[in-house]
Structure 1
Amino acid sequence: MHTDTISGRPARADDYDAVAAVVDDWWGRPILGALPRLFLDHFHRTSLVAGTGDGMSGFLVGIVSPSEPGEAYIHFVGVHPEARKTGLARALYERFFEIARAHDRRVVKAITSPANRTSIAFHQRMGFTVTGPVRDYNGPGHDLVTFERGI
């Protein structure tokens, strides 16, 4: 797996089909339901795709909040299993921070399941404050861990 375009390129709405085709395999479980097409239809300009002619090696779906003027949110990030530990996820995050700053955002937030220890450790290494699990964050019985980082 090559990661030549490690920082990613702006996503396009039509990247959704490629993302949808791999996301469950990359996670090793059904996860596509958390990433409906609307995210790339409406937020592709603040999202990223990384890869080469060999295929996609990673993606980040990010949003500059229309409701919280100083905030941005990373909704979903995926890295091909063969591209993990190459710095690709870090590069995608750093590129998204640039996008967020260009939109006058100074805080980036994200969430994950309390069971996702890999994501929690990654966000800690990236300098995010980790809170939780926050009870019933996503409705009754849906506790989540929250992340926040100033940029």
Structure 2
Amino acid sequence: MKIRNIKDEDFLRISTNLNTWWGGREMVDMLPRLFIHHFKGTSFIIENNGETIGFVVGFISPYNPKQAYIHFVGVNPKARKENIGRTLYEHFFETVKEKGCTVVSCVTSPVNTTSINFHTRMGFTMTDGDMVIDGIPIHQNYDGIGQDRVIFKKSL
């Protein structure tokens, strides 16, 4: 397996697989080309024999350069349970820490219990929301009307 910075030419390969990797959920619109184009220095891909098995797209906040944000992460279903997500996150953490970041944040959907469990295992904490469902703090309408999110933060 090889980890490297993401490149512009990875966009179509990644976007072609998104909906499939998410079990048919419509995810393509959440990762426009601009994220890959502008954040190559803090976004990574893992390949095995030329096949993409995972990627992370993240950046350092232009407003607060001590804070990094993970916008999107994906793992090929064939490679799940192989610590690909953990490897990508740890690589991202080291990269942004070297650039002076002290905090990483990210969000997920309240229905994505796999993501919630993953982030908790990675040492993220959930920030207080405006409501709590099944012990999970929810930020209502965070990404627009009806787009509730769970917000995570992790100190580096």
TM-score normalized with structure 2 length: 0.90
Aligned length, in residue pairs: 146
Deviation at 1:18, TM superposition (A): 1.0
Counterpart position of 1:18? 13
- Which stretches in structure 1 are left out of the alignment for 5+ residues? none
Deviation at 1:130, TM superposition (A): 1.4
- Superposition RMSD on alpha carbons, in Å? 1.0
Deviation at 1:143, TM superposition (A): 1.2
Q: Which residue, out of 123, 136, 143, partners 2:148?
A: 143
- Which stretches in structure 2 are left out of the alignment for 5+ residues? 128-136
User: CA deviation digits over 1:31-83, x for unaligned, max 9?
Assistant: 10100111001111110000122410000001111111210000000000011
TM-score normalized with structure 1 length: 0.93
CA–CA distance in 2 between the matches of 1:52 and 1:141?
A: 38
SS at 1:72 equivalent: strand
Counterpart position of 1:58? 54
2:73 corresponds to which letter in structure 1?
Answer: V
CA–CA distance in 1 between the matches of 2:154 and 2:26?
A: 28
SS at 1:148 equivalent: strand
Identity across the alignment (%): 44
